Amino acid sequence: MPTRTQIFQVSTLYGAATLAAALDAGQFGPPADSRRILLVCNNAPVPETAAGPDALLGYDRIAARFDSVISWNETIRPYHPGAWGPRADDVVLWQRALRLAWGLGEEPVELALESIQVDPARALAAIFSESALHVYADGLMSYGPTRTRLPQSMGCRIRRVLHLDLVPGLKPMLLSEFDVETELVPEDAFRKVLGEIAASADGDRQLAGAVAQAPTAVLLGQYLAALDILTVEEEEALHIRMLHGAARAGHTRVLFKPHPTAPVRYSDALERAAAEAGVRLVTLDTPLLAETLFERCAPTLVVGCFSTAMLTAAVYYGIPVARVGTGLVLDRIAPYENSNRVPLTIVDHYVPDLERHGGGEVPALPGTAPATLGPLVRTVGYCMQSELHPELRDEAESWLRERLDDSTRRYFKRQRLGKLSLPGGSTPGAAARLRSTVRRTRSTLRV
């Protein structure tokens, strides 16, 4: 008989695949020891109009590993999963309600959560306030700092950070302020799960038609306009730049995988550009993981801005990857502590720029992270969350003093460096600190 319940919260199929690989590798113990619940969240701005992870091809293969599946959206309806958390006075009542609704009884509960610093993961951690927490990384954000300061009472319950080795040689910063250990999900286990997901799409006609076109390059859309980073027109132009870059590299058969929430006009504009460039373009909007395309189409190039799928293509499929537009997005992304900044920095520094390659030249396959990447990521991470990582200040000062130049300036903002009294800042640090002290003193005197 199971002696505990393990609840696995997911909002993406990629994250669910990561958990499935960890389960297969025995990283959550023997199945007979636990009752396992898959808690599915749809965090889209309007969940009723967007496909959740359970709507994607291959989801059923993941769900089969669990004893039951529960919808978090249905549980807390009419509240939105990303905007609701229990009041402090109500957490005990919420735990009782969930134990009753989910048939948990009084047995111990463990939680496997993504994005612990925000809801719904933070809400679940608060409700099950005595539970051990396991955090898993759904992509490149784990290499950056924790987005916000977590309560010490929550941080001390986190046992580990499970993550994929998407950038070999680079260690995640996520939750390192609590000295949480990191643990790799085995490569072979994750690759096997991706294979299962791809196999479940065998009967899809649109995918079969795309495969029949034998595309040699895949373009990945991210819909950055939804994040207010680019305008719709700018992102449309970004996709066209990807197409032109692939064409210059000799690719005449290209597949475009738009983001599920991208507008139809993206595909229309790209089709016109492809016709002008003499490229046969296939647009695939079937709800499936980009990794299924790598499995089924075996492309020789994957192009994107800073999508995690680019690194998955390189690490797990051995496909050369190239980036387009990271400089523009680095300039636009705000605020500075935006969690996408580290993924952007990694891809910009680590992945070849497609627009720097001439006709017929194929970008090299990224390998082990260069020695320059770790110090750069830690310096950017310090500038993002200096209060969480005061131990990194000396390294950040040294790096900026020695390495900040025209080629690295795009990773930093002068105002941010000035605010932190770091080399390269636009505002004298001492003066900024003095003004802050004066304001605090005036406020104290008023009281």
Query: Which domains, ranges and CATH numbers included, belong to the chain?
Result: 4-191 (3.40.50), 206-333+343-356 (3.40.50.1980), 373-434 (no CATH)
Helices (DSSP H) in 102-222: which residue ranges? Answer: 121-127, 152-155, 187-199, 205-212
Identify whether the C-beta of residue 220 lies closer than 8 Å to the C-beta of residue 313.
Answer: no
pLDDT at residue 107 above 80? Answer: yes
* pTM of the predicted model over 0.95: no
Strand locations in 315-418, DSSP E? 321-323
Q: What is the pLDDT of residue 222?
A: 87
Kindly report, residue by residue over 329-379, the tens digit of the pLDDT.
999 999 999 999 999 999 999 999 999 865 555 566 787 889 999 999 999
pLDDT at residue 445 above 60? Answer: no
Mean residue pLDDT across the chain: 91
Q: What is the pLDDT of residue 223?
A: 82
CA–CA gap between residue 402 and residue 213 (Å, rounded): 50
Angle of helix 187-199 relative to helix 308-317, nearest 10 degrees?
110
How many helices and strands in the chain, by DSSP H and E?
Answer: 18, 12
Query: Mean pLDDT across the stretch 23-33?
Result: 95
Q: Sorting pLDDT into bands at 50, 70 and 90, what band is 437?
A: low
Torsion angle defined by CA atoms of residues 372, 373, 377 and 379, in that order, rounded to the nearest 10 degrees: 0
pLDDT at residue 256 above 90? Answer: yes
Among candidate residues 110, 99, 58, 56, the one with its CA nearest the CA of residue 75: 99
Q: Sorting pLDDT into bands at 50, 70 and 90, what band is 262?
A: low
pLDDT at residue 440 above 70? Answer: no
Phi then psi for 216, rounded to 5 degrees?
-100, -10
CB atoms within 10 A of CB 447: 4
CA–CA gap between residue 442 and residue 375 (Å, rounded): 39
Q: Sorting pLDDT into bands at 50, 70 and 90, what band is 308?
A: very high
Q: What is the pLDDT of residue 363?
A: 61
Query: Mean pLDDT across the stretch 166-183?
Result: 96
The position carrying tokens 């905007």 is: 83
Q: Three-class SS of residue 307?
A: coil
